[in-house]
């Protein structure tokens, strides 16, 4: 009798464990997430929470894929191919205003790059030193590049006209500038500057015209989510943002080791160069003075409304951008969780 009772107990325990494991597996929510760009230094902000198991601990099975530009990320989230993504806010605004009847317009749920890192870059030998020198010049960038998408705002603010565009695949952008095929390029400053250096160009031989330095105080990249996941599983979005913030805090505090997470996804990266790229991104757009003033993850309504107006005017969109439909703070972690920026350097 004792043996039979023991066996029954063992079977019951095993069944309980199996049911528990099954319930846990069912509770794990898959999230497909697309970055704005390739696996470079700044991607560590997202990959850290995968490596540390923070997404998994939050009940999420997160898949992170590289992208080829913010415009592409927006359209893929809109199409349902991805649940969430990382994209330039201007590109998201343009999509909303030009596709008013689209059934699945993505929504921004967290600010990450408080200032746009977009810039125009040229070689000093071109004679380009200021925005007005770009009049009538040949510029190059991939079609989906956030700097190119936001260029109309920069052009309007600086009265630039007659620009001719050349499109290319991302790896060819800086190469074509070095070869002299184009006069200047658009791109994220910390991406293109280091890419030019990798192609043998000295930093002092590059002219960088950052959008924020020339009258364009745009927000940069945000985390976006599809309306479907916001409606069907809002808790998963909240869990993602909380887990992401936890990993990002560690990366911001100690960037260099985080490049190991990037190298795990792209084994041929230049580790030292990507460490520099990540630190540049953190200093320029993540932990910037504006980010400290406004708080990580959040936006200021007045600044958001101004950007919506600028994008509407510069892009000549079909409808005006409505900032209330493009952005929501409803899924953000608590202020205590969002307090991840280190003290300003003195």
- pLDDT confidence of 39, banded at 50, 70, 90? very high
Give the residue from 214, 233, 258 where a domain finishes. 214
- Cα 320 to Cα 307: distance, rounded to the nearest angstrom: 11
193 is a domain residue: yes
- Cα 47 to Cα 43: distance, rounded to the nearest angstrom: 6
| DSSP-derived pairing of the beta strands 118-123 and 206-210 | antiparallel
- Do 126 and 197 lie in one domain? The reply is yes
pLDDT beyond 60 at 11: no
- Do 178 and 138 lie in one domain? The reply is yes
Give the residue from 159, 188, 214 where a domain finishes. 214
- Do 227 and 144 lie in one domain? The reply is no
- Do 139 and 286 lie in one domain? The reply is no
| DSSP-derived pairing of the beta strands 164-166 and 138-140 | parallel
- Do 34 and 104 lie in one domain? The reply is yes
The pTM for the full model equals 0.86
- Do 199 and 234 lie in one domain? The reply is no
Tokens of 100: 């008013």
- Do 138 and 106 lie in one domain? The reply is no
pLDDT of residue 3: 47
Q: How many domains does the chain have?
A: 2
The arithmetic mean of pLDDT across residues 16-42, rounded, is 74
Residues with Cβ within 8 Å of 291's Cβ and at least 6 positions away in sequence, in order, are 114, 115, 285, 341
For the beta carbon of residue 96, count every other beta carbon within 10 angstroms: 26
- Owning domain of residue 110: 11-15+22-114+220-338
The arithmetic mean of pLDDT across residues 296-301, rounded, is 97
pLDDT beyond 90 at 274: yes
327 is a domain residue: yes
Query: In whole angstroms, how far apart are CA 213 and each of 130, 178, 217?
Result: 11, 24, 8
Tokens of 176: 């074509």
pLDDT of residue 346: 66
- Cα 16 to Cα 22: distance, rounded to the nearest angstrom: 10
- Do 332 and 230 lie in one domain? The reply is yes
- Do 197 and 225 lie in one domain? The reply is no
- Where helices occur in 180-322 by DSSP H, the ranges are 189-198, 227-232, 234-253, 259-265, 271-281, 289-294, 301-315
Give the residue from 187, 214, 241 where a domain finishes. 214
59 is a domain residue: yes
3 is a domain residue: no
What is the percent of the chain where pLDDT is above 90? 82
- Do 104 and 138 lie in one domain? The reply is no
pLDDT of residue 190: 86
CATH number of the domain that residue 142 is part of: 3.40.190.10
- Cα 146 to Cα 148: distance, rounded to the nearest angstrom: 5
258 is a domain residue: yes
């Amino acid at each position: 009798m004792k043996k039979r009772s023991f066996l029954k107990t063992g079977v019951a325990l095993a069944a309980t464990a199996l049911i528990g494991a099954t319930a846990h597996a069912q509770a794990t929510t898959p999230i497909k997430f697309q970055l704005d760009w390739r696996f470079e230094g700044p991607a560590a902000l997202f990959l850290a929470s995968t490596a540390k198991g923070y997404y998994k601990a939050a009940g999420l099975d997160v898949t992170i894929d590289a992208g080829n530009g913010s415009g592409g990320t927006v359209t893929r989230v809109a199409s349902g191919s991805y649940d969430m993504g990382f994209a330039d806010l201007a590109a998201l605004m343009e999509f909303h205003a030009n596709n008013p009847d689209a059934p699945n317009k993505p929504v921004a749920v967290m600010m990450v790059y408080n200032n746009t890192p977009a810039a125009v870059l040229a070689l000093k030998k071109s004679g380009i030193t200021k925005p007005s020198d770009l009049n009538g010049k040949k510029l190059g960038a991939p079609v989906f590049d956030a700097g190119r998408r936001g260029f109309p705002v920069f052009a309007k603010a600086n009265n630039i006209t007659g620009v001719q565009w050349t499109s290319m695949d991302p790896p060819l952008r800086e190469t074509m500038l070095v070869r002299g095929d184009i006069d200047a390029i658009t791109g994220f400053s910390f991406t293109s500057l280091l890419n030019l250096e990798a192609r043998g160009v000295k930093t002092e031989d590059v002219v960088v015209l950052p959008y924020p330095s020339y009258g364009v105080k745009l927000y940069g990249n945000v985390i976006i989510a599809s309306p479907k996941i916001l409606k069907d599983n809002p808790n998963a979005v909240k869990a993602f943002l909380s887990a992401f913030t936890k990993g990002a805090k560690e990366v911001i505090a100690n960037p260099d080791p985080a490049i190991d997470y990037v190298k795990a996804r792209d084994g041929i990266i230049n580790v030292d160069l990507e460490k520099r790229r990540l630190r540049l991104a953190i200093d320029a757009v993540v932990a910037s003075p504006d980010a400290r003033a406004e708080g990580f993850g959040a936006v200021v309504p007045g600044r958001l409304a101004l950007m919506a107006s600028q994008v509407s005017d510069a892009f000549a969109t079909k409808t005006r951008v409505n900032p209330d439909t493009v952005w929501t703070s409803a899924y953000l972690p608590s202020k205590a969780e969002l307090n991840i920026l280190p003290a300003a350097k003195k």
